[in-house]
Amino acid sequence: MKDLIQIDVSSSRPKYQQILESILDSIENGRLVQGQQLPSISELSEWQQVAKVTVAKAYEELRQRGVISSRHGKGFYVASTNVRNPLNVFLLFDTLNAYKETLFYALQNALPDGTPVSLFFHHYDRALFESHIQNSLGKFSYYVVMPHFNEDVSEVLRRIPRDKLVVVDKAVPQLEGDYAAVFQDFDADIFTALASGLDLLLPYRRLTLVLSGDHFQFIPAGICSGFTRFCQSVGITHRIVESFQPGLVQPGEAYILFADRDLVAFVKHLHATGLRAGRDVGLISYDDTPLKEILEGGITVISTDFERMGHTVGRMMIHKLKEKMANPSRLIRRKSL
């Protein structure tokens, strides 16, 4: 093992960098393999006659890259043989659906070729959310987390080093510090989107916001507050209901739906009753997908630009930015309203 990690005392390169490169070279040429134990900090310090802090610095950078991992009380081990890509991404979504696919592929395309992205899901389960994060600590160079909860999860996110964290889609106001975030401002976005379509909404006698009884559909609290604020500001009769039932649908009224299964049920009801979206009833869906461009001649949507969000997250990691920015949302007009 001593000959695998060498330091040239005559070199101008920092000693910690030489240790790091020596380990990367040994992994790359197969002399160190995945799962193999590395010498302890004390052992390597003694062998190479360097300070322990120098060895610790090299090991920590390799750990943050995901190249090595540490096991409490047992030492350091080779965790990955993908050693030359400085990015190794942990990605935690709530669930997978059409617009998450758009976000995922945009993020992947924004990263250098071959960047490993490990995708996990928490399904709105707080314990699973915490478990995924806890079990991943120290194994990745970046942690991209979608904290889709209407409760404070900042305590869990604080376990991730701020310079390795990117919060995506939903802001976490309680999380202090200097970290990256790309999010939707749900309250302001729905207000602005509905205001831009006021001319289309005024002919309807009532606007109904339909929440979802679907366990796998997250409804941010800001949606309801922004919706109510808009309707009150322009004097539109409105209501918020907890789940979709076909009996809700009445001619002359408009509806905002979240869950795709509710959208399908709504369209089926229109077909069964002979009602037409955009003529007899108004329909707005949340989050655009390719299917909504063609369904019923086009479904009007309120949507953020998920492709742009993915590219922004990728750019933040590549350039190590720590900005917090709102991703733009808008109303896309189609025939259903």
Q: What is the pLDDT confidence band of residue 85, given thresholds at 50, 70 and 90?
A: low
SS3 (DSSP) at 117:
strand
Q: Rounded distance, CA 240 to CA 243, Å? A: 9
Name which of 51, 19, 315 is nearest 182 in CA terms. 315
Report whether pLDDT(217) > 80: no
Q: Strands 89-93 and 68-71, how do they pair?
A: unpaired
SS3 (DSSP) at 71:
strand
CATH class of 2-78: mainly alpha
DSSP H or E stretch at residue 238: strand 238-241
| pLDDT of res. 70 | 87
Domain boundaries, given as residue ranges, for the chain: 2-78, 89-184+306-328, 187-304
Is there a contact between 193 and 233 (Cβ–Cβ < 8 Å)?
Answer: no
Q: Rounded distance, CA 152 to CA 155, Å? A: 8
Give residue-wise pLDDT tens across range 290-306: 899 999 999 999 999 99
Q: Summarize the confidence of residues 249-277 as an average pLDDT.
A: 95
Q: Rounded distance, CA 253 to CA 123, Å? A: 33
Q: Rounded distance, CA 276 to CA 266, Å? A: 11
Q: What is the reported pTM? A: 0.74
Q: Summarize the confidence of residues 100-117 as an average pLDDT.
A: 92
- Both structure tokens of 268: 């089926």
| pLDDT of res. 138 | 75
Report whether pLDDT(84) > 80: no
Phi, psi of 81 (to 5 degrees): -100, 0
Tell me how long the chain is: 337
Q: How far, CA to CA in Å, does 101 sit from each of 39, 66, 212? A: 42, 25, 21
How big is the CA angle at 142 (ends 137 and 145), to the nearest 5 degrees? 80
Q: What is the pLDDT confidence band of residue 54, given thresholds at 50, 70 and 90?
A: very high
SS3 (DSSP) at 51:
coil
SS3 (DSSP) at 7:
coil
* Domains 2-78 and 187-304 agree in fold: no
In this predicted model, which residue has the larger pLDDT, 109 or 71? Answer: 109
Q: What is the pLDDT confidence band of residue 214, given thresholds at 50, 70 and 90?
A: low
3-state secondary structure 9-23: CCCCCCHHHHHHHHH
Question: 187-304 — its CATH code?
Answer: 3.40.50.2300
Contacts of 298 (CB under 8 A, 6+ apart): 292, 334, 335, 336
Superfamily grouping for domain 89-184+306-328: Response regulator (3.40.50.2300)
Amino acid making up residue 254: A
Give residue-wise pLDDT tens across range 165-182: 999 999 999 999 999 999
C-alpha 246, offset from chain centre? 33
Phi, psi of 326 (to 5 degrees): -85, 135
Q: Rounded distance, CA 292 to CA 301, Å? A: 8
Please, what sign has the CA dihedral across residues 329, 91, 130, 139? negative
